[in-house]
A = this chain, B = another copy of it.
């Protein structure tokens, strides 16, 4: 029996995820990733096969640990009436904390949407899937928050809210105030 792996795989992925989040895929260099993970190049290649393999793992980690927890109340068996507004106030708070990764770097997935890596179908599928899931979750949240709405109006509002999220995350890097104002608009729409 040989030695066992010294580092924690998930921890390494989290460290790499932060690098990709801050720099994007193409601008994240292997020295950057080595530094952040504390692993040497050969260990990275042994464990993940390639930079792409590590990025794919980072995407899965991002979905599971960043996106999914925030959407969980909206996907619960019974959805609280305030779950949608809670989602937006929570996201707003994250963007308002100027030192947070979300405030400074927006969304790992959406940032990739405009980059060359988005030409890889595995990546673009992940982004498109994320948008779909966000929309579906917000639609459930809207249904719980405004039970009187018919299906068409509910879907329309869900699409609007989804787009407000996407726009806010896109803008957060560029203009924090505009990003916060965008989320405030979402909250206004829900309290009208």
Q: Which residues of A contact B (CB under 8 A)?
A: 23-24, 26-27, 106, 110-116, 118, 124, 127-128, 131-132, 156, 159-160, 162-164, 166-168, 170-171, 173-175, 178, 181-182, 185, 188-189
* A interface majority secondary structure: helix
- The docked-state distance in angstroms from the alpha carbon of A106 to that of B185 is 24
Q: A163-B166, A163-B185 are in contact. List 20 more A-B contacts (CB 8 A).
A: A23-B116, A24-B114, A106-B113, A110-B114, A112-B114, A113-B171, A113-B174, A114-B114, A114-B173, A118-B174, A124-B173, A127-B175, A128-B175, A131-B174, A132-B178, A156-B185, A160-B164, A166-B167, A167-B167, A167-B170
- The distance in angstroms between the C-alpha atoms of A115 and B166, with both chains bound, is 16
For the complex, what is the distance from the CA of A26 to the CA of B23, rounded to whole Å?
12
- A sample of 28 inter-chain contacts (CB < 8 A) reads A24-B114, A24-B115, A110-B114, A111-B113, A111-B114, A113-B174, A115-B115, A118-B173, A118-B174, A124-B174, A124-B175, A128-B171, A128-B178, A131-B178, A132-B178, A156-B185, A156-B188, A156-B189, A159-B182, A159-B185, A160-B164, A160-B185, A160-B189, A163-B163, A163-B166, A167-B167, A167-B170, A170-B170
